[in-house]
Chain A
Amino acid sequence: MVVCIKQVPKAQELQVDPVTKTLKRVGVPSEINPPDQNALETALALRAKLGGEIVVISMGPTSFDESLERAIAMGADRAFLVSDRNLGGSDTVPTALTLTRAIEKVGDVDLILCGEETTDASTGHVGPGIAGHMDIPQITYCSSVDIADGRVRGVRMIEDGAETWEVHMPCVVTIDFGCNKPREPTLTGKIRVKRGGLITHWSAADLGLEPSQIGLKGSPTIVAKVDTVQLPSRQGKIFQEDPAIAVSLLLEALRKDRLIA
């Protein structure tokens, strides 16, 4: 099993570099992208049931080791970080391609798990992108995953219900944010991190990627500019009357705005 994770800034202080128009990552506390934590928890539960090895893969600067160490402390077996200056500015196309190459280099993978999306970029495109590059089945937005007779069953949470999909392996499954409670790192896990040797770094060249395929050059999209959001001005009408009167005034106002019937 492979779990793809990204390290993201903790939600509070996100800022954009006005020159490069990319996310400023320096000095902001980080965490494993929360949906990726759900993906890792899914993998750990599957391993407990069926055995196998969990390999965590990420792409980013070497500061991402912090998240890979945490993943190992939570129970992952090994981790790989694809880290290369040329990868900077990659959009979802080179990101999915790079992760695909890394998964292929790990080899002999049956199941690839990703979070449904990241909390910083929120595209949800990388998991399906990997499946597209590898030309293998995908199940997105899964709240639970099971494997039986060499086939993967995933319960896919869509707008109006839950679909159960069945696909053959290898496949990509993306995990619904919040569908499980990611475990905390264990003492044994932390000791394994301390002993070292479980995290390997790869460059883009190690994966046979040309500079033209990755980073800003390999990305079809660019962020042309970033505007600050103009929030709508609010009416600020506060009713301080008795509940019965306040409620009737509120409902009347909402009916006038055609928000309720």
Chain B
Amino acid sequence: MTHEHRTPPPMEAHTGVWVFLEARNGALRDVSVQLIGEARRIADKRGTELTGILPGWKVEPLARPAIEFGCDRVILVEDPRLEFYTSRPYTKVLAALRWTHNPEVILFGASKNGRDLGGRLHAAIDTGLAADCVRFDVTEEGFLDMIRPAFGGKSLAHIHCEEHRPQMASARWNVFPTPARDPSRQGEVVRETVALEDSDFDSRIVEFKPTESHETRKIDDAKILVSGGFGLGDPKNFAVLDELASLLGGAVSASRKPVDLGWVPKALQVGQTGKTVRPQLYIAVGISGAVQHLAGMQESAKIVAINSDPKAAIFEIADYGIVGDLFQVVPEMIRQLKSFRGQAQAAPPPEPAPPGTPGGA
């Protein structure tokens, strides 16, 4: 990356909304597709075009879907060395395109790679970057209003980048709906080259181990979380939550107590001192609902509480609750789910693709 300080052209010379399209295993990642829908809305509000930036190798087949989801144009930068995301070459591609095209806005999905890229890029091209936005808008003055949770989810901060271009932000996974795909949408695919030296490829990925067990699956992006609390009584009892999560296609998380007691890894902790999560469905099992825990999950779309204490605070923010012994309720849920599926499907259920195989993102 050339890193001399460059003087950007005047503010008004910057036009167009860009979205970074992250390819993984031969598909666009969910977060990129979701972002196309939101970026389309912003581009329309600004009366400008939406361009998808697609670096990678053999990613041309992904350009057409990006147009059908809402891009006007896709800029392809293909190089066999870009097959897997690494920080410096991707930053160099984005930085080079930034200086040749002067976009007004660049949006990234807040995947690990998207945050890695955005964080490096904003320092390299000297502009602002708002992290993990959950909403965007355009102000009366025409600035991008980048809205993100702040202070443990207690408030929403509106971030503006008024005097630097492009205005950049990353957007959280699963907050924007997947846009409708329109096979008749027209758009252009432009192939561009960025000069990359061998020395730019300073990071080598020597191994990839796909996630296997639900226990270690990251909780941030799960659509369904089954979360266990002190009420489980014993680390062994998390196995039953694992089974339930697995049946629902979700992941297991925990409140603080099981983490402090060493029952489950810290990475699974939801709450003010752990992760803030916003799944579609949060099932709190044996969690009383301390304020610190609620702060980490209260923005979940739907909340289910299972607790033997009818006065537990968790019921106050639950959509549905079962007052009862979790050691009866959870196994019963598993039993009923299995039997419902057994009836519903004469044929055996399709095997989900193992993680890391093409087609999954």
Contact = CB atoms under 8 A, between A and B. Distances in A.
The B contact surface, by secondary structure, is: mixed
A168 B218 CA distance: 28
Contact of A92 (B122, B154, B333): B122
Contacts of B336: 244, 247-248, 251
Contacts of A250: 304, 320, 322, 333
Contact of B154 (A153, A167, A229, A260): A229
Contact of A220 (B115, B126, B132, B273): B126
A159 B329 contact: no
A34 B118 CA distance: 23
Given A138-B116, A178-B265, A254-B281, A123 B131 contact: yes
Contact of A125 (B119, B209, B318): B119
Given A129-B120, A223-B158, A259-B280, A238 B315 contact: yes
B221 interface: yes
Nearest to B163: A220
Interface string A190-234: 000000000000000000000000000001111111111101101
A53 interface: no
A238 B323 contact: yes
Interface string B316-352: 1111111111001100110011001100000000000
Contacts of A120: 151
Interface in A227-261: 227-229, 231-232, 234-240, 243-244, 246-248, 250-251, 253-254, 257, 259-261
B322 A246 contact: yes
A254 B119 contact: no
A84 B210 CA distance: 45
B321 A237 contact: yes
A144 B345 CA distance: 44
A137 B203 contact: yes
B267 A176 contact: yes
Interface string B113-151: 101111111111011111110000001000001000111
B237 interface: no
Nearest to A23: B151
Nearest to A178: B266
A234 B303 contact: yes
B209 A133 contact: no
Given A11-B152, A93-B122, A127-B119, A236 B319 contact: yes
Given A132-B119, A164-B206, A251-B337, A238 B87 contact: no
B91 interface: yes
Select the residue from B113, B123, B149 with max chain A CB neighbours within 10 A.
B123
B211 interface: yes
Contacts of A179: 266-267
Given A223-B159, A234-B319, A238-B321, A93 B128 contact: yes
5 contacts: A93-B126, A128-B116, A160-B355, A224-B158, A238-B315
Interface of B: 1, 3, 24, 86-88, 91, 111-113, 115-124, 126-132, 139, 145, 149-164, 202-211, 218, 220-221, 224, 248, 265-267, 269, 271-274, 276, 280-281, 292, 295, 298-299, 301-304, 310, 315-325, 328-329, 332-333, 336-337, 340-341, 355-356, 360
Given A133-B3, A239-B323, A240-B322, 6 more contacts: A122-B131, A132-B121, A224-B158, A238-B323, A239-B321, A243-B324
